[in-house]
């Protein structure tokens, strides 16, 4: 049987025992923050690589500062705990890791102060998130992205995902794969769980940090590999919705979505309608990097298991 342990308020316990009360503050008010980290199985090396784990815990700490939630440990210690949890579960496939920091007090009352903080991590097997062969079909959502003065999107707040869920459900029930949300002033913000890039005139363009986006770790990865590996610059600026329609290529980035090509937006074909050549190149580089096959970027990949005798350095 596959082990399924969780880390729950300081202890490793079977997932089935990691339970919260229905009175938990976060359950009632959405007052938590979380991360999604991918672990990539490298079958040749029999190794599981966790992609940019310290950056994820760094972002979790920043989300926590916005919500007034203190993490129980340093980033280094949380990375160590995560590795131990995965070793206990011992997966031999791609996984998703979900750390969550939350208001655990069992009280009635909307606030962020004078509440106790909780912390948990669980893991699950994980494959493709957006499974749209040949590119996904997107729509512009009728739901606007939460504004920084409403709920700050730069913090990965549990409650924010109501905004994302409204947009995603609207998109899917209307026959699309994913929603692209605009800011209140009508600029492109992001997908329900992804950042967005367009490629036009030899440069990548992506909304800047003041466009109510989560500053994605995959976004930062793509900006770096486009520059270092392909010599392609990324411009961070406000983007009009109509620019997406005329771009040569559009793609989404995220831990879950990885690099997902966009084939269609609002029933208009993007570029040639398939996977654009640059998107394909970025995907190839990205998938090599995340499985620990690019020595240059090996520091982004944390190995979980003790190095096996058959392990080869990439």
**Nearest distance from C-beta of residue 3 to ligand PMP, angstroms:** 26
Q: Which is nearer to ligand PMP, 58 or 72 (CB)?
A: 58
**Nearest distance from C-beta of residue 207 to ligand PMP, angstroms:** 10
**Nearest distance from C-beta of residue 218 to ligand PMP, angstroms:** 3
Whole-number Å distance between alpha carbons of 146 and 169 = 16
Q: Which is nearer to ligand PMP, 254 or 271 (CB)?
A: 254
Whole-number Å distance between alpha carbons of 284 and 282 = 5
Whole-number Å distance between alpha carbons of 27 and 7 = 18
Q: Which two tokens stand for residue 239?
A: 């983007």
Q: Which is nearer to ligand PMP, 135 or 254 (CB)?
A: 254
Whole-number Å distance between alpha carbons of 182 and 184 = 7
Q: Return the sign of the alpha-carbon dihedral for residues 79, 85, 88, 92.
A: negative
Q: Which is nearer to ligand PMP, 5 or 253 (CB)?
A: 253
The 3-state DSSP class for residue 18 equals coil
Spatial contact of 183 and 211, defined as CB atoms under 8 Å apart: yes
Whole-number Å distance between alpha carbons of 293 and 272 = 30
Whole-number Å distance between alpha carbons of 6 and 82 = 10
**Nearest distance from C-beta of residue 269 to ligand PMP, angstroms:** 25
**Nearest distance from C-beta of residue 131 to ligand PMP, angstroms:** 17
Provide the 10 A C-beta neighbour count for residue 60: 24
Query: Helices 53-67 and 217-230: crossing angle, nearest 10°?
Result: 140
Interacting residue ranges for ligand PMP, rule: CB under 6 A: 36, 164, 190, 193-195, 214, 216-219, 253-255
Catalytic residue flag (residue 156): yes
Catalytic option among 104, 156, 168, 293: 156
Q: Which is nearer to ligand PMP, 194 or 249 (CB)?
A: 194
User: Would you name the residues annotated as active-site residues?
Assistant: 156
């Amino acid at each position: 049987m596959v082990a399924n342990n969780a880390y729950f308020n300081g202890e490793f316990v079977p997932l089935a025992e990691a339970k919260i009360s229905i009175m938990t503050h976060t359950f009632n008010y959405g007052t938590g923050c979380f991360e999604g980290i991918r672990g990539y199985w490298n079958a040749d090396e029999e190794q599981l690589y966790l992609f940019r784990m310290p950056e994820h815990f760094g972002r979790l700490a920043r989300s926590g500062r916005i919500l007034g939630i203190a993490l129980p440990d340093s980033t280094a210690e949380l990375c160590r705990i995560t590795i131990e949890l995965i070793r206990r579960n011992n997966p031999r496939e791609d996984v998703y890791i979900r750390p969550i920091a939350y208001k655990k007090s069992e009280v009635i009352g909307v606030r962020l102060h004078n509440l106790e903080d909780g912390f948990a991590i669980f893991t699950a097997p994980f494959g493709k998130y957006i499974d749209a062969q040949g590119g996904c079909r997107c729509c512009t959502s009728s739901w606007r992205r939460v504004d920084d003065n409403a709920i700050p999107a730069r913090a990965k707040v549990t409650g924010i995902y109501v905004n994302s869920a409204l947009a995603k459900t609207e998109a899917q029930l209307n026959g699309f794969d994913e929603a692209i949300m605009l800011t209140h002033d009508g600029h492109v913000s992001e997908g329900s769980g992804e950042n967005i890039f367009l490629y036009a005139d030899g440069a990548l363009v992506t909304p800047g940090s003041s466009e109510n986006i989560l500053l994605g770790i995959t976004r930062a990865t793509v900006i770096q590999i486009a520059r270092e590996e392909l010599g392609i610059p990324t411009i961070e600026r406000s983007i009009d919705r109509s620019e997406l329609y005329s771009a040569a290529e559009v793609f989404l980035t995220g831990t879950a979505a990885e690099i997902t090509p966009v084939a269609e937006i609002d029933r208009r074909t993007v570029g040639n309608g398939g996977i654009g050549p640059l998107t394909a190149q970025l995907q190839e580089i990205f998938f090599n990097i995340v499985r620990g096959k690019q020595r240059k970027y090996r520091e982004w990949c944390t190995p979980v298991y003790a190095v096996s005798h058959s392990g080869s350095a990439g």
